[in-house]
Chains A and B, each alone.
Chain A
Amino acid sequence: MLPGSGPDTGSDGAVFAGTIDEIVAALDQDPVLVEEVMGNGQTEALQAALLEKAEASQLPVYVVLTKAPAGLTTQNTAEELLTLLHARSGKDGVWLVSTADVGHVAMQVYGDLDPAVDDEFTLLRNASTNAQGEAFKAIRSECGDCQIHPALEIGVTLDVLAHGIPQEWGTQPLTDAQVDSYTSSLWTAPDTQTAHYERAEMPTAGLYAVVATVTALTVAVVAYRLVQAIGGKRHPRLRGSAKPAPPTLAERNTAVVDARREAAAAYRALEKALGRAGNRVAWERRDIATACLERAESRIGADDLLEVVGGLVLARTGSYALAHATGQYRCCYVDPRHGAATKEAPLGGGVQVPVCAACAAALAGKRPLAPLLSAGRFGSLAPYYERSSVWSRTGFGSLGGDWWQEVPR
């Protein structure tokens, strides 16, 4: 067949309208032309569906879904093809054209199709966009990653045209059933693309063996040890890290009550001694006792164990100052509740601190200490001297100096 003597045909004789003239000639027969290259895998069904919708339209429509003919000059071949087709045919109506390389739909309204409205194009586009939005929602609810074919936009626009040019802005005339019909495979395509290198295959005998062996080995060893644990001594401590168990909340509350009682007694004793002191005690010593008394007062009723112990030590420091002409009260650095220090012993980094006899013996025998604990922000307990406070700085006076002056009133 000579070039230009008729439409192209494929190997099997199928006809293809490859030029503007051939497409216009095809539209003379049928206002809808769907070529296989844009047929969504079911060209005949798509052609029939669109033709049925076109025939229901109240206005003349022309629909073309094809490959852009050779010789078009712009990037937007759909728009360009539409303009050329209209110019060649001279037919007024709604034109809808999409090409395989562009993938979107070009629309134009030619002629005064509806005397009642001025802007047919904008009203039609608006109603069609609204209806498409409904259709997309229906599709997404059924198939998250389905691709939408350009034919859907054309089908929806034709459905709108079955009611004529919309007279109102912001509405769409499709029924729910019409919207739902666009979820079918005629208008969508499943997105199934799989990468070349991800070719899935059934596992080999070797892979089965690997998985079975790893699972069996791991489960066997872990399960054996766990079964051996049943009935064993409950959570034995690790050797060498024999820390005494931290006190429970109840134990700590009891400790606060006990310390409070002791502190209150020491406070009353200081108060009495100070009242009796008179001039036979040097005024410097009385000043110390008064300073300690003032600072102890607010602490005795406190909820925090460290504060209560602080009150206790302050009261004892004041009493000591009145009873002795020189020197000052030194408590056990590890826990002031142990009473007065009698020895010095190296703690932690080798610093010599005053300690009671029991703590000195424990340190000498490398036995664990039971220090006064302080609660952290998240309830964790640690020796008070490992945390930062006025008590850790002064060691409750065991480190010497006019330490009470550092304690707030």
Chain B
Amino acid sequence: MNRVVRGLVSVTVAGALAAGSAVAATQILHDRRAEAVAAQAAPLAPEVRTDRVRNALAGLADDGVYVAPDARDLLDKRGERAVARAIAEAETPIKVIVWTKTNKAGASYFDQRQQVEAGLTEAGGRGVYLIWQGPENGDVDTYGAYGFVDVAPYEDFTGDPARTLPRLVAQVDAEVRWYERNSDDSDYWGGTGGGIAAGLLIGSGVLLAVALLYGLLMVAVGRRLPGRWLW
């Protein structure tokens, strides 16, 4: 075999292996992420929602406020009507849940809140939800789209919720910010081009490390690999 043919064979074999492993690597990346996304969504699926969350979602449908039967000591019916009026006056769709904090109602507290958010998102549109569990205890967040509400439960959930909640609801229009997520902004690597550039840089680093390792091994054993880069 002459030198040129030999070199071409090596290039072809190396190229095929490189393409194959790149495809396999992206496939593995895709599958593992898909698994993680599915696992994350599993406790939020409608069929595993707790009765407590289903009742809350149903109760929010008419006037946007729901008080669980066990939370009447937190907010009475007059307070509930005041919250409903504030919601009706706001421009942003707002949902207010008042319930007792519990992790004995079929899901961790975090999962209950995520189930609520998933249920609200499912119904369509975007808005803000508040969950009052007691003084300095609860959540405020957006549903249906990425956003940020400048209301902190541990600071702003104070006093009698019959007064505090209508006041916070009235602030939402001014305190909410919505983020438009376009695909390039959310891509840390800056799209395909940026990814290839970063990949070449990282790949060079990896090759450098491989070369270093090979060098150390070569010195330790006192022998090098047969053949050479160019025959």
Contact = CB atoms under 8 A, between A and B. Distances in A.
Interface in A200-224: 200-224
A39 B70 contact: no
Contact of B37 (A1, A40, A202, A212): A202
B105 A233 contact: no
Interface stretch (A11-19, A23-31, A153-161): A11-19
B17 A220 contact: yes
Contacts of A163: none
B25 A228 contact: no
A218 B34 CA distance: 26
Contact of B106 (A40, A228, A235, A241): A40
Given A210-B199, A216-B19, A42 B229 contact: no
Interface in B22-61: 22-26, 29-30, 33-34, 36-37, 39-40, 42-43, 49-52, 55, 58-59
Interface string B172-194: 00000000000100111111111
Contact of A204 (B77, B188, B227): B188
A193 B229 contact: no
Given A192-B111, A203-B33, A225 B70 contact: no
* Contact-residue size bin, chain B (C-beta under 8 Å from the other chain): 35 or more
B99 to A, nearest CB: 8
A345 interface: no
B108 A193 contact: yes
A36 B210 contact: no
A122 B189 CA distance: 65
B68 interface: yes
Contacts of A200: 33, 36-37, 39-40
A335 interface: no
Given A11-B80, A37-B104, A103-B104, A213 B203 contact: yes
Contacts of A216: 18-19, 21-22, 203
Nearest to B43: A192
A216 B14 CA distance: 9
A199 B111 contact: no
B29 A203 contact: yes
A238 to B, nearest CB: 6
A236 interface: yes
B10 A204 contact: no
Contacts of A368: none
A279 B2 CA distance: 81
Contacts of A100: 100, 102, 104-105
Contact of A224 (B10, B73, B100): B10
A227 B13 contact: yes
Given A11-B67, A100-B102, A215-B25, A44 B51 contact: yes
Interface stretch (B119-127, B152-160, B218-226): B218-226
Nearest to B68: A10
B203 A42 contact: no
A218 B192 contact: no
Contacts of B65: 11
B68 A210 contact: no
A204 B183 contact: yes
Given A202-B34, A210-B198, A237-B223, A223 B17 contact: yes
Contact of B222 (A213, A224, A243): A243
Contacts of B200: 213, 217
B70 A35 contact: yes
10 contacts: A1-B77, A100-B100, A190-B43, A202-B33, A211-B25, A213-B199, A221-B14, A222-B210, A223-B18, A236-B223
Which A-B residue pairs are the 5 nearest by beta carbons?
A: A41-B106, A213-B199, A209-B195, A206-B189, A232-B227
